[in-house]
Amino acid sequence: MKNFTSGQFTWKDGHGIAHLSSLTGGDYESIERFTVLFLDTGRTHTYELDNRKIVAGVECCVFTDNLWDGTRVTIIHA
């Protein structure tokens, strides 16, 4: 399982966004589950694939966390 930190995402209102290439060093990987360590609280959340979609011609995946607290992450595959 991949492990990331909150600093690798841009956050707004509980929604994190990142490009896949910045998370994986340029390698294309299919990610369906990962953890995010929140640097401000020290808590780790596990995110799982919620859906795949295309937004404005760009493929992305949306993930929700295991706490169902409303936070979500979008990883853009461009």
3-44 per-position pLDDT tens digit:
999 999 999 999 999 999 899 887 677 788 999 999 999 999
pTM of the predicted structure, to 2 decimals: 0.85
pLDDT value of residue 50: 86
Q: How many CB atoms lie within 10 A of CB 9?
A: 19
Q: Which residues are registered as beta bridge partners of 17?
A: 10, 74
Q: Where exactly are the structural domains of the chain? A: 2-76
State how far the alpha carbon of 73 is from the alpha carbons of 47, 59, in Å: 8, 14
